[in-house]
Structure 1
Amino acid sequence: MKNLAFIILCIAMASNVLAQEKIKKEPDVFMIVEDMPEYPGGEEALRDDIAKLVKYPAEAKEKGLQGKVYITFIVNELGKIENAKIARGVDPLLDKEALRVMNELDKTWQAGKQKGKAVKVSYTVPINFALDGGPKTPAPVKHPTGKGENELFYIVEDMPEFPGGDKALREYIANSVKYPEEAVKNKIEGKVFVTFVVEKDGSVGETKIARGVAPSLDKEALRVIQALPKWQPGKQRGEAVRVCYTVPINFALN
């Protein structure tokens, strides 16, 4: 175990939405829902449970294989995982282990819901296999859109990070949102999903509504995201790149 530096699971709850758009949609399976699936105990519990299950393949260690394996699966209406498969692999040895771990998770998730009804939701989890001494194998294949300086990535080795992490991002949004008077008057509420680009310098670039609720709420959600401070930019092979990211903003009246 000494040569195993870490096995880290990064839960990209927001950005995985865009990554999933690259995967062929199945009937009755949602990419984004009002209430996304949640693992018992949250993201930290999911990280811990996966870390406990992962066994770095001996042959992979000998060959110096490492990298992030992205697994996509469906959380069904009963909160169970089904149809787990490799969205982006590194090597058959690591891919197989990542799939084994995901299929052995036996806890029941809180199912995703759309309009109050439990539905099937596609979900993506990256599992990072890393050995001491840094990367010894090529980085995972990248799938950007655009060319040159304008290449836009959906999944990168190092995803963009808000200063202070996800919790700080949630707090910033909560403190910045001003519930539109029109929406309050008409008792309009719901979850707005905003898609935006984290540029190479960490600034927020193009923003748009991935799924809206009402014009007043959509406009306020866009305003908040456009005013976000600079992020730690995403990186691919050590180089800063443009990355798509999606954030849900929940508007709820007391």
Structure 2
Amino acid sequence: MRKFVLIILGLMLTMSVFAQEDNKEKGVFQVVDDMPVYPGGDMALRNDVASLVKYPVVAKENGIQGKVYVSFVVNKEGKIEDAKIARGVDPSIDKEALRVINALDKTWKPGKEDGEPVKVSYTVPIKFALGEDKSDEKKTFYGEGENKVYYIVDEMPQFPGGDEALRKYIANAVTYPDVAQKNGIAGKVYISFVVEKDGTVGNARVARGVDPSLDKEALRVVKALPKWKPGVEKGKPVPVEYTVPINFALN
């Protein structure tokens, strides 16, 4: 019997090179001094999303699968608002992903800029996948033997200083390519990579590109990331796949 696999990938927070003044005018920030924090952290958010998701019957029957990106705003009170599909797969799966995000009723620690609570944009990917795997273990990784790479582990990899430090590192490291600026090219580049057993970043690749110039810059920044605290599964460090979106936007 065909079984389905639900994989909640490493949380992906939109990195932006928007001018802060432009963000303030719009009322929603992309990156702030203190980013919003879900009660219990990212792992708790992943677990809560996983517990709420129900694979739509119509999607299973028709073999529909894919990764849905849901964007929303964490407001000044720590509540989710304006949830919407940033990138969908199918109406049935999109609807379920949106329902799950709107069903999260816990209050976040709101984001802050200059010491004041502000609205902050946040993006979460949810992957719906159908497979023939009989083993629950196989639902959390790909590859075999020494080439096994996990999606989710007991302890996810951590960038030195945490997610906020990762966001700031990328924001400071990114240089908007001149050719892209001159030609009005903008968009969000998704970079996937593996945090190896020793914490180094390997196998960085463009998961979803926009333009060669932007893709190249995003890839350069991710390849230069310093060592992470590696992911741990059953007490042992293991390679874990991670995905980061970098948003290039012109004022």
Fold shared by both chains (TM-score > 0.5): yes
The question of whether the paired residues in 2 share the 8 Å contact of 1:5 and 1:132 is answered with: yes
TM-score, scaled relative to structure 2: 0.57
The residue number in structure 2 matching 1:113 is 112
Partner residue, 1:29: 28
Give the number of equivalent residue pairs: 171
1:27 Cα deviation after fit: 1.9
Which residue pairs with 1:170 in the alignment? 160
Unaligned 5+ segments in structure 2 are 134-148, 150-154, 177-198, 209-214, 227-251
Report the AA paired with residue 44 of structure 1: M
Please report the TM-score for the alignment, with normalisation by the length of structure 1. 0.56
Answer whether contact 2:15 2:170 (CA < 8 A) is retained: no
Matched, 1:194 2:169: yes
Say which structure, 1 or 2, has more relative contact order (CA 8 Å, 6+ apart): 2
Matches within 5 A, 1:66-215: 66-133=65-132, 166-167=157-158, 169-170=159-160, 193-195=168-170, 207-208=173-174
Specify every segment of 5 or more residues in structure 1 that has no aligned partner in the other structure, as ranges.
Answer: 135-157, 159-163, 173-189, 197-205, 211-227, 250-254
CA apart distance, 1:6 = 2.9
Q: Percent same amino acid among aligned pairs?
A: 46
Conservation of the 8 A alpha-carbon contact between 1:36 and 1:112? yes
State the distance in 1 between where 2:225 and 2:77 align: 23
Runs of 4+ in 1 over 6 A off after TM superposition: 245-249
- The alpha carbon displacement at 1:91 in A equals 0.7
Letter in 2 for 1:4: F
Aligned-partner Cα distance in 2 for 1:18–1:59: 36
Cα 1:230/1:53, change in 2 over 3 Å: closer
How far 1:4 sits from its partner (Å)? 1.3
Equivalent residues of 1:30, 1:120 under 8 A apart: yes
Pair 1:233-2:223 in alignment = no
Amino acid at match of 2:4: L
Q: The residue matched to 2:5 in structure 1 has which SS?
A: strand
Alignment root-mean-square deviation, CA: 4.1
